[in-house]
């Protein structure tokens, strides 16, 4: 076990959980109840998932693709130039800029043109040791309008995305990735690793 691994909470009760109404529910183990309930001010459980292969991806994916307790896909990649474009639109509308973490990406790429990620859809990318399939654009939800520092909700950036990035399946910002384990490449992605579009 590496120093970054956390042991399974073996004394936690086993339960079935749903992630955004996932069907079927997936097994998890309660890691904490008291702290998270006190923090949120309501009854809640913090759960841990021992086997990240139990939940199939609900959207476009290959039959063996899985996601753990993450939102819909294992990895979300955002482009800083696309964020700059969004913030330029916000400035034109008289609104404050939003930080990249408002979109909750796992990976952030620098040096690509704005909206280059649109052209990566359906392709594979190599980042560090890992090859990813670009599964789909990320349709954004109301959570992006909540300031993570203050908890206050507003109308941006969804309002401006609705004007400039509206598609049939939603308001797009960033792309969902799936590690391509069929390529036989598992490994590490580090800050500063290059991104290469493979095919």
pTM, two decimal places: 0.86
CATH 2.40.33.20-classified regions of the chain? 56-197
Averaged pLDDT for residues 27-39: 90
Closest CA to 132 of 71, 83, 198: 198
Q: Which fold has domain 56-197?
A: M1 Pyruvate Kinase; Domain 3 (2.40.33)
Structure tokens at 125: 């990318």
Residue 2: is its pLDDT beyond 60? no
What percent of the chain lies above the pLDDT cut of 90? 62
pLDDT at 6: 58
**Is residue 35 reached through a cis peptide bond, with omega within 30 degrees of 0 on the bond before it?**
no
Rg of the chain, C-alpha, whole Å: 18
- Measured CA angle at 116 (ends 78, 157), to 5 deg: 45
CA distances from 6 to 31, 50, 76 (A): 11, 10, 23
The CA distances from residue 97 to 19, 58, 102, 106, 108, in Å, are 30, 32, 10, 20, 17
Residue 3 pLDDT > 90: no
Q: What angle do CA 146, 169, 83 make, to 5 degrees?
A: 45
Can you say whether the dihedral through the CA atoms of 20, 23, 26, 31 is positive or negative? positive
């Amino acid at each position: 076990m590496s120093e970054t691994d956390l042991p399974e909470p073996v004394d936690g009760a086993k339960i079935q959980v749903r992630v955004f109404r996932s069907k079927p529910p997936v097994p998890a183990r309660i890691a904490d109840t008291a702290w998270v309930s006190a923090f949120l001010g309501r009854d809640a459980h913090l759960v841990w998932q021992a086997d990240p292969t139990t939940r199939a991806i609900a959207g476009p994916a290959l039959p063996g693709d899985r996601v753990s307790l993450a939102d819909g896909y294992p990895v979300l990649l955002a482009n800083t130039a696309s964020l700059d474009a969004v913030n330029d639109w916000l400035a034109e509308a008289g609104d404050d800029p939003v930080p990249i973490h408002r979109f909750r990406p796992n990976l952030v790429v620098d040096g690509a043109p704005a909206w280059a990620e649109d052209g990566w859809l359906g392709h594979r990318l190599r980042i560090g040791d890992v090859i990813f399939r670009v599964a789909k654009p990320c349709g954004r939800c109301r959570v992006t309008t909540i300031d993570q520092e203050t908890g206050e909700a507003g109308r941006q950036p969804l309002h401006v995305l609705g004007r400039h990035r509206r598609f049939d399946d939603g308001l797009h910002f960033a792309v969902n990735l799936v590690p391509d384990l069929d390529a036989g490449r598992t490994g590490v992605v580090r800050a500063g690793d290059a991104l290469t579009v493979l095919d």
